[in-house]
Amino acid sequence: MAVPRLLVIAGSDSSAGAGLQADLKTAQAFGVYAQTAVTAVTAQNTRGVHAILPVAPDMVRAQIEAALGDIGADAIKIGMLGNGAIAAAVADVLEKVDLPLVVDPVLLSTSGAVLLDADGVEVLKSRLFPRATLVTPNLPEAEALTGIAAGSEHGLRNAAQAFALCGARNVLFKGGHGDGPQVRDVLVEGGKQTIFTAPRQATLHTHGTGCTLATAIACGLAQGRTMADAVGRAHAYVQEAIRTAPGLGADKGPLNHAR
């Protein structure tokens, strides 16, 4: 049987809790072979992001073309893009590609560092969301992208409609930033809602949850799973990764990606 293949387009996290490093560990846990296209190098740890160096757009494009032109991919995941020039370069390449695409709209780090500029947001909305099989915003990202607070049922429905107007066919609203004793992730697929819940865990160690969840979903799509099945498996994986986090660092520590 052929090994499922994933291409991850994202930034590097020197602490290895998020970004490409978390993506690679997640793919390994699911038995998927992951290639990477690095969009930015960051200096960060559990306390925050200390420096960001974007990769030249032509180099990002060359990495994607090299990966797809040889080993190939069964799905693609996009994480941190950094700026509009990089986002446009990615969009240019992907216009020629017809593969399941998971877009994690990384706008801010957990510590509040800006990870995508205004031009990049416009490329996301106008060129990448229409190509995406799934967009995976957390609640602050959903509000920043649509202007609608998605914490209530009414707000979520309106935000889903706003994403649809941008061409996003399916959206997973991640509830980690919500309130209450339950984490509630809501998949809106073709207008139908599927809800995934778990007890909210009292822990600092949630660095890289968004990256990990989106990559785990992309692994499921690469393996031929349905959207709901891929999301459900990824949701359970992230909850266990939080529960068994190794407790590293002085602040928001990494997950346990080993299965």
Tell me how far apart the terminal alpha carbons of the chain are, to the nearest angstrom: 22
- Hey, which residues are catalytic here? 174, 206, 208-211
pLDDT band at residue 1, thresholds of 50, 70 and 90? low
Q: Per-residue DSSP letters for 199-254?
A: EPP--S--BTHHHHHHHHHHHHHHTT--HHHHHHHHHHHHHHHHHT----SSSSPB
- pTM equals 0.96
Question: Which of 65, 122, 70 lies closest to 97 in space, CA to CA?
Answer: 65
Distance (Å, whole) CA 33 – CA 45? 26
Phi, psi torsion values for 225, nearest 5 degrees: -75, 160
Tokens of 172: 């997973």
| Most distant CA pair in the chain, distance | 47
Phi/psi-derived region of residue 203, left when phi > 0, alpha when psi is between -120 and 50, beta in every other case = beta
Mean pLDDT across the stretch 3-11? 98
Give the pLDDT score at 177: 78
Contact call for residues 21 and 27 (beta carbons, < 8 A): no
- CATH pick for 5-243 out of 3.40.1190.20, 3.40.50.720, 3.40.1160.10, 3.90.1170.50: 3.40.1190.20
Distance (Å, whole) CA 14 – CA 9? 16
Tokens of 139: 């609640």
Asked whether the predicted pLDDT for residue 90 surpasses 70, the reply is yes
pLDDT band at residue 76, thresholds of 50, 70 and 90? very high
DSSP state of 61: H
Question: Which of 98, 82, 4 lies closest to 37 in space, CA to CA?
Answer: 82
Phi, psi torsion values for 237, nearest 5 degrees: -60, -45
Cross-strand partners of 192 = 189
Asked whether the predicted pLDDT for residue 129 surpasses 80, the reply is yes
Distance (Å, whole) CA 198 – CA 118? 34
Least confident range from 43-47, 140-144, 180-184, 228-232: namely: 180-184
Question: Which of 225, 231, 151, 155 lies closest to 189 in space, CA to CA?
Answer: 231
Mean pLDDT across the stretch 50-74? 97
Mean pLDDT across the stretch 50-60? 97
Phi, psi torsion values for 55, nearest 5 degrees: -85, 145
Contact call for residues 89 and 58 (beta carbons, < 8 A): yes
With residue 94 as reference, give the H or E element that holds it.
helix 84-94
pLDDT band at residue 118, thresholds of 50, 70 and 90? very high
